[in-house]
Structure 1
Amino acid sequence: MVATVLCGGLLLAGTLYGQDDDFPFGPFRMYSTGPDPNGDARDTRVEGTDDQGRTVPITEGNSGIRRAEIEGQQQAYVDTPSRLAEVAAAYQEHSPAAAPLRSVRIVIRWHGIEEARPTGTFRDQVIAEWTRP
């Protein structure tokens, strides 16, 4: 009985005053909040341009780098775009038969949302770009 009351008290305190770091006794904000029903939805991708001018999607399969790793360090790439040279090197290492990349960029595609429904519109925003010297 004491353990139940103690856990209940911790859950209540965590709900009212806690942060993600207090999980499981604090809210896990990813599930406890919702997006703006009229706000654009973001979709981050990494792409390169090869020496022939073709756009190449950079994926875990052809670079060994997960999208979550890029998103987790996104601000570092924005602050120092030259770090994207490492992504180009990883791509070349994992795809040796492919043409070398001339540039790599992080692009956010903002999908239009109105009343919690997609509008079918989007706009792309390049937030970091590296070009081979």
Structure 2
Amino acid sequence: MDDMTVRGRWIRVVATSLCGVLLLVGTLFGADDDFPFGPFRMYATGPDPNGDAKDSRVEGTDITGRTVPITEGNSGIRRAEIEGQEAAYVATPSRLSEVAAAYAEHSPGAAPLQSVRLVVRWVGIRHARPTGTYRDEVIARWTRP
């Protein structure tokens, strides 16, 4: 039995139509920031089957000269947070001092970091398969004054 009023049906039709229009406009003119009404390009496009794959990481050098991988466990900073702010770190490398401070806070007793760098490892890909080759590129570096 259908207990919906004419007004209720009309509201649902308008709401459904509005969502449909937003999806169409977002698909044609939107960007990732418009999700869910715009395309989420990460899933809408495929990588170049012969292009290098990007793998970012943060590493530091402590005062003893040892290289320390910076992880969520020893800094409290998730990898996605670093990758999402990558352009800001490249534009202002001194922001990496905040990573050193977070490392010091989350790793009491560890030797302090003398420097922090944001490194991109470009993994070779050929015919959509890894080639076993790579090259590292330091895209931002901070050194303690």
TM range (shorter): 0.7 to 0.9
CA drift of 1:107 comes to: 0.3
Quote the Cα distance in structure 2 between the aligned partners of 1:82 and 1:14.
37
**Which residues in structure 2 correspond to 1:45-64 (within 5 Å)?**
45-64=57-76
TM-score, with structure 2 as normaliser: 0.81
Q: Report % sequence identity.
A: 78
Which of 41, 50, 55 lines up with 1:38 in the alignment? 50
Distance 1:10 1:79, change over 3 A: closer
Which of 123, 126, 132 lines up with 2:138 in the alignment? 126
Partner of 2:96 in structure 1? 84
Instruction: Work out the number of aligned pairs and report it.
Output: 133
Structure 2: any 5+ residue segments left out of the alignment?
A: 1-11
Quote the Cα distance in structure 1 between the aligned partners of 2:71 and 2:16.
48
CA drift of 1:73 comes to: 1.3
Quote the Cα distance in structure 2 between the aligned partners of 1:103 and 1:3.
57
Distance 1:13 1:92, change over 3 A: closer
Distance 1:120 1:81, change over 3 A: same
Partner of 1:97 in structure 2? 109
Q: What's the secondary structure of 1:99's corresponding residue?
A: coil
1:74-115 deviation digits (Å, cap 9, x = unpaired): 122112211111111110111111111111100000000011
Quote the Cα distance in structure 1 between the aligned partners of 2:90 and 2:34.
30
Which of 113, 116, 124 lines up with 2:128 in the alignment? 116
